[in-house]
Amino acid sequence: MQRTDVERIEQEVAGYPDQFQTAQRQFDAAARFLNLDPGVREILRNVQRILTVNFPVHMDDGSIQIFTGYRVQHNLHRGPTKGGIRYHPDVTLSEVKALAMWMTWKTAIFNLPFGGAKGGVVVDPRKLSKNELENLTRRFATEISLLIGPNKDIPAPDVGTNAETMAWIMDTYSMHVGYSVPAVVTGKPIAIGGSEGRTEATGRGVMIVTLEALKHLGIPTDKATVAVQGFGNVGSNSARLLADQGTKVVAVSDENGGIHNDAGLNIADLLRYSQEHGTIKGFPNAEPISNADLLELPVTVLVPAALENQITQRNAGRIKARIITEGANGPTTPEADTILHQNDIFVIPDILANAGGVTVSYFEWVQDLQHFFWSEGEINNRLDQIMRKSFNQVHETAQRHDVDMRLAAYIVAVGTVAQASVARSIYP
């Protein structure tokens, strides 16, 4: 039995569904609603390409260690594929396939000319030195250079990777072809063709759609309280930008645990503290809170911004937030979704809520291809417009068909991709 099978069975026994099955169930609901042709359905519910690589890395002690990584392309019907690279010890092929499929839907809702892809390496990046991480990244980039390229498949950061990782990939790819190819990755440092506003873009998108939801529900921003799970790129930027807009962020967490203060947390101080200590744990003027309890706080807005399977049938009935803005990919299981819907909790699904990152990645790719760069103001304005437009398109779809926001988002996304597939006569 392969390792991924063992992990899947362990997850199911533990009550956590397999991520790719979750992604397929979400797709199936939309396919049924759209009465999609069975052939089209079969193609879209599977991934198109999977590359598994086992590659050696020189460690600092002189030894060689073998790592496993994946690059998955779900669908190429609307353009080159796009999606992040994750470094995490729990990465599985099923997870990478699910994340690739979610990227296809995300780019379709926002009408970005991409299909979905994702990559991952089974590694805990915090256990490697910088030198080892660079060796690993360059070797992984070489392995997946079969698939990636500015017109083929364009990676970006995800959990455990950042702008520095993207710089190493861009440099490795450029060395192979003999000239600089900035457009091969997005989320790069500005100095090598990165875009203004990219680092905070996912958090900015989370903030924008949350404000739209508050407006729709008639809740004044300054009366809204917020809890954020995860304080990495997405969580910390979401917390900061939501606080800047006048909401009160009362709790945040990372993998070491959480902190809580009903009077509100000072996010600027918290960011400094987190940078100095590498965690938010121990931040003064706040009470400790577990990750599980944070999810069940009586807040206006809950932003899961860590990993998958956080809101399940076990805890969904105890969630008290009025709005859930899914900063993370796949934080809610389908069973939990049903419970949240019954309890009238307004869920802004991941494929809508966290698409600010891929949207500004698209801006970065366009700027790189044109060698012409935009100001931060232009980026943020365009992001604001496209996020609000997509939120309202999904919201109108939800109201028109009397379905929840997740199914509405899937109806828009799957309909868009199916149209492209049919237009290309991919199914004779």
Residue ranges that bind ligand NAD, judged by CB under 6 A: 157-160, 202, 229-235, 253-255, 291, 305-307, 327-329, 354, 357
Report the Cα 21 to chain-centroid distance in Å. Answer: 18
Minimum CB distance to ligand NAD, residue 420 (Å)? 22
Is residue 351 a contact partner of residue 409, using CB atoms and an 8 Å limit? yes
Non-local CB neighbours of 56 within 8 Å, separated by 6+ positions: 64, 65, 66, 67, 139
Residue 24 or residue 325: which is nearer to ligand NAD going by CB? 325
Can you tell me the distance from the alpha carbon of 149 to that of 184, in angstroms, rounded to the nearest whole number? Answer: 5
Rounded least distance, CB 206 to ligand NAD, Å = 9
Residue closer to ligand NAD, measured from CB, 303 or 418: 303
Q: How many angstroms separate the most distant Cα atoms in the chain?
A: 64
The minimum distance between CB 302 and ligand NAD, in angstroms, equals 13
CB of 34 to ligand NAD, least distance (A): 25
Residue closer to ligand NAD, measured from CB, 42 or 255: 255
d(CA 150, CA 156): 12
Q: Check if the beta carbon of residue 99 is closer than 8 Å to that of residue 20.
A: no
> 94 vs 202, which CB is nearer to ligand NAD?
202
Nearest to ligand NAD of 67, 403 (CB atom): 67
- Give least dist CB 105 to ligand NAD, A: 13
For the chain, first and last CA: distance in Å? 37
Which one, 69 or 232, has the nearer CB to ligand NAD? 232
Q: Which is nearer to ligand NAD, 157 or 193 (CB)?
A: 157
Question: 148 or 227, CB closer to ligand NAD?
Answer: 227
> Where do runs of H (alpha helix) occur along 35-129?
38-44, 93-109
Residue with nearest beta carbon to ligand NAD = 232
Give the bridge partners for 82, in sequence order: 116, 154
DSSP-assigned states of every residue in 173-207: HHHHHTS--GGG-SS--GGGT--TT-TTHHHHHHH
Q: Minimum CB separation from ligand NAD for residue 14, in Å?
A: 14
* CA–CA distances in Å: residue 102 to residues 45, 47, 165, 210, 219: 11, 11, 22, 20, 30
- Report CA dihedral (199, 27, 215, 244) to the nearest 10 degrees: -20
Catalytic residue among 118, 152, 223, 389: 118
User: What element of type H or E holds 416?
Assistant: helix 405-423
> Environment class of residue 16 by beta-carbon count within 10 Å: exposed (0-12), middle (13-18) or buried (19+)?
middle
The residues near 174 (Cβ < 8 Å, ≥ 6 apart) are 180, 181, 184
- CA–CA distances in Å: residue 404 to residues 65, 205, 325: 47, 20, 14
Q: Establish whether 152 is a catalytic residue.
A: no
Contacts of 199 (CB under 8 A, 6+ apart): 163, 187, 233, 237
* Alpha-carbon gap, residue 229 to 303, rounded angstroms: 6
Closest contact distance (angstroms) between CB of 33 and ligand NAD is 25
Query: Is the separation of the CB atoms in 97 and 48 below 8 Å?
Result: no
CA distances from 135 to 18, 141, 162, 189 (A): 31, 10, 15, 19
Q: How far is the CB of 423 from ligand NAD (least distance, A)?
A: 28
Q: Which residues are catalytic?
A: 118
